[in-house]
Amino acid sequence: MEIIFHGHAFVEVENLDSSILIDPFISWNPLCDVSLEQICAKNIKAILVTHWHSDHIGDTVNIAKATGARVISTFEVIQYFVKYHNLTAVHSMHIGGSFKFDDFSVKFVNAVHGGAIWPEMLPWKAAWVILTVADKKIYHAGDTALTYDMKLLEDENIDVAFLPIGDNFTMWIQDALKAVEFIKPKMVVPMHYNTFDVIKADPVKFAQLVTLGNLSTCKVLSPWQAIVF
């Protein structure tokens, strides 16, 4: 199994002959290492969307239409995909709920962040997602502030946690360190930094502080690099 980082908050979990995508932001993502064509040429089983912001919805609609991948998100986001883009391979979930699909499972958890369902611009909350594939638990925090709820994730025994560190829209390095302390993942990967001018952060500094505090193992991934199990 490979957990591939594609820049910003776009993560691909490839297992055997298929992939699951989380927040596939390709077009307009200056850090993304793959093209829409390359992704659409793969066997994409599912697309998980944490919240309705353009850097997380990304190219979900185009990928879903080209590959037939099932789109999994919170109810309101799925309603948008169905109503405005006629997607039919969808699965609605909500915060606090888990669902076991054929060979992976998904749980949505409350993030401290916003979102808005276009075009009505109805405000909506963002989610974290916990994806389990081949006995590995991956926590993708989407966009979030630091919150004490993260302490509850300690019981999930997270193998790999993707945490935003870019500040402005999300946690910054010091808050992300506190998050690592709460979650106690076996491994942590920083994300959501250096994509835009307002979210500049130093992932190496974050990694050093994780190591210094003996909090976890930190892997700084360049877009295209992967964690291999």
Secondary structure (3-state) at 177: helix
Among Mn ion, Ni ion, none, residue 137 binds (CB under 5-8 Å by kind) = none
Check: CB of residue 99 under 8 Å from CB of residue 119. no
When CB distances are held under 5 to 8 angstroms depending on the partner's kind, the choice from Ni ion, Mn ion, none that residue 76 binds is none
* DSSP reduced 3-state for 17: coil
The dihedral built from the CA positions of residue 102, 39, 159 and 134, taken in this order, carries a sign that is positive
Give 115 or 185: the residue with its C-beta nearer to Mn ion. 115
Q: Measuring CA to CA, how many Å separate 79 from each of 21, 74, 87?
A: 19, 9, 9
Residues 6+ apart with CB under 8 A from 209: 173, 177
Across 16-155, where does the E strand assignment appear? 18-22, 44-48, 70-74, 90-93, 98-100, 104-110, 116-117, 122-123, 127-133, 136-140
Least spacing, CB of residue 9 vs Ni ion, in Å: 9
Contact 176, 208 (CB under 8 A): no
**Which positions ≥6 away from 155 have C-beta within 8 Å?**
none
Nearer to Mn ion, 133 or 190 (CB): 190
Angstrom distances, CA of residue 218 to CA of 38, 161, 163, 184: 28, 9, 11, 12
In the bound complex, what is the minimum distance in angstroms from residue 30's beta carbon to Mn ion? 14
Which spans of this chain sit near Mn ion (rule: CB under 5 A)?
Answer: 55, 143
| Residue numbers at the binding site for Ni ion (CB under 5 A) | 53, 143
- Cβ proximity to Ni ion: between 179 and 215 the closer is 179
Q: Which does 23 bind (CB under 5 to 8 A by kind): Ni ion, Mn ion, none?
A: none
Q: How far is the CB of 191 from Ni ion (least distance, A)?
A: 12
Closer by beta carbon to Ni ion, 104 or else 139: 139
In the complex, least distance from residue 142 CB atom to Ni ion, rounded to whole angstroms: 7
Q: Least distance from C-beta 115 to Mn ion, angstroms?
A: 10
Q: Report, in Å, the least distance between residue 116 CB and Mn ion.
A: 13
Query: Which option in Mn ion, Ni ion, none does residue 184 bind, with CB closer than 5 to 8 A by kind?
Result: none
> Which residue, 133 or 142, has its beta carbon nearer to Ni ion?
142
Residue 140 binds what, of Mn ion, Ni ion, none (CB under 5 to 8 Å, by partner type)?
none
- Count of residues in the chain: 229
- Which of 35, 54 has the CB closer to Ni ion? 54
